[in-house]
């Protein structure tokens, strides 16, 4: 009995220093992390100052103003603006209230600037210019959002066939659909990859693949992407092999992209008429007829 007691005592006496060393010893990885964090410990003020002036001043003011006036907007205005922001890739960064606030702040700023000029010189030209700037300032946020949405839609349309080809190859190699999308989208930064990553996040949060695909088509509002989503949902519901469906859809998207390129190429001669008539032909007439006009009647 005494040997058991002595063995237990020796074990406890040995374990206490070992446990203390393991608790207090700092591993190399944690030591490097501590060194990195020690050199950069920003305060809340420094974190806020790292943002741009627009994010620190303009957007909060626009959000406060828009939140007070959003009740006076027509029914469905907020939903339409949120959809436009989603198409432009600004969902989560800019809100409909900020758009409404900007639509009022910009004309107010324009009116203040021109109002100071009208005090000293109230000419009709200045008044007309002020009214034009007010109209442009009111519609400028919508125009900028629509332009961003058009650029993003064009980027998604151009990248869709190549993305589908990569997903098809990965699925045919044995990967699942979600795994293939995740693997390919993480290595790319274009808008289509961002949309696929958001769709995968919806699936991880509990949405079904069909619902996540429908949400993807609803956010983008693109005909090509709607066609792809419809084909994938039908294949998922009918049990058609997904690799075959992806191969067929990828070929169709590639053909559509080629047809669009040919259509743009056929429009070029028509578009070249205006710069040809306004720029090249007058210069050509000046070069040909200019010396004869300067020489006068005797020059011929």
Domain locations in the chain as residue ranges: 51-150, 153-267
CA angle 117, 123, 125 (to 5 degrees): 100
Distance (Å, whole) CA 161 – CA 224? 10
> Which residues in the chain belong to E strands, given as ranges?
none
Distance (Å, whole) CA 128 – CA 246? 57
Q: Are 85 and 92 in contact (CB under 8 A)?
A: no
pLDDT of the residue at 49: 58
Distance (Å, whole) CA 2 – CA 8? 10
pLDDT of the residue at 52: 63
pLDDT of the residue at 41: 55
pLDDT of the residue at 55: 65
pLDDT of the residue at 123: 75
Q: Are 236 and 262 in contact (CB under 8 A)?
A: no
Total residue length of the chain: 300
What separation, in Å, do the N-terminal and C-terminal C-alpha atoms of the chain show?
136
CATH number of the domain located at residue range(s) 153-267 in this protein: 1.20.81
Distance (Å, whole) CA 231 – CA 226? 9
pLDDT of the residue at 20: 45
Distance (Å, whole) CA 119 – CA 133? 18
209-220 and 191-204 are packed helices; what angle lies between their axes, rounded to 10 degrees?
140
pLDDT of the residue at 121: 67
Residue entry with tokens 């066939």: 161
Intervals of the chain under pLDDT 70: 1-58, 116-122, 296-300
Q: How many CB atoms lie within 10 A of CB 81?
A: 23
Read off the pTM: 0.67
Under DSSP, is residue 73 helix (H, G, I), strand (E, B) or coil? coil
pLDDT of the residue at 134: 83
Distance (Å, whole) CA 212 – CA 202? 6
Q: List the helix and strand counts (H, then E) for the chain.
A: 15, 0
Distance (Å, whole) CA 255 – CA 250? 9
pLDDT of the residue at 8: 47
Q: Are 191 and 155 in contact (CB under 8 A)?
A: yes
pLDDT of the residue at 72: 81
């Amino acid at each position: 009995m005494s040997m058991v007691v002595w063995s237990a005592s020796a074990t406890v006496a040995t374990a206490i220093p070992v446990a203390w060393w393991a608790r207090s010893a700092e591993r190399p990885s944690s030591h490097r992390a501590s060194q990195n964090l020690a050199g950069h410990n920003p305060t809340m003020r420094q974190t806020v100052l790292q943002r741009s002036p627009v994010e620190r001043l303009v957007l909060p003011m626009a959000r406060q103003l828009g939140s007070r006036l959003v009740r006076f907007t027509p029914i469905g205005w907020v939903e339409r603006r949120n959809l436009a922001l989603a198409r432009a890739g600004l969902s989560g960064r800019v809100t409909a209230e900020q758009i409404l606030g900007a639509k009022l702040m910009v004309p107010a700023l324009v009116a203040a600037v021109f109002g100071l000029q009208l005090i000293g010189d109230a000419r009709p030209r200045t008044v007309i210019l002020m009214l034009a700037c007010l109209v442009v300032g009111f519609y400028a946020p919508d125009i900028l959002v629509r332009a961003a949405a058009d650029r993003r839609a064009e980027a998604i349309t151009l990248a869709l066939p190549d993305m589908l080809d990569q997903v098809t190859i990965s699925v045919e190699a044995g990967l699942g659909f979600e795994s293939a999308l995740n693997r390919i989208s993480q290595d790319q930064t274009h808008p289509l990859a961002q949309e696929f990553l958001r769709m995968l996040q919806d699936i991880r949060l509990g949405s079904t693949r069909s619902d996540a695909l429908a949400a993807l088509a609803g956010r983008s509002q693109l005909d090509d992407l709607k066609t792809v989503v419809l084909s994938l949902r039908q294949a998922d519901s009918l049990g058609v092999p997904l690799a075959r469906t992806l191969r067929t859809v990828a070929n169709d998207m590639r053909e559509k992209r080629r047809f669009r390129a040919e259509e743009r190429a056929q429009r070029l001669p028509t578009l070249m008429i205006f710069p040809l008539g306004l720029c090249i032909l007058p210069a050509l007439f000046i070069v040909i007829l200019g010396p004869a006009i300067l020489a006068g009647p005797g020059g011929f």
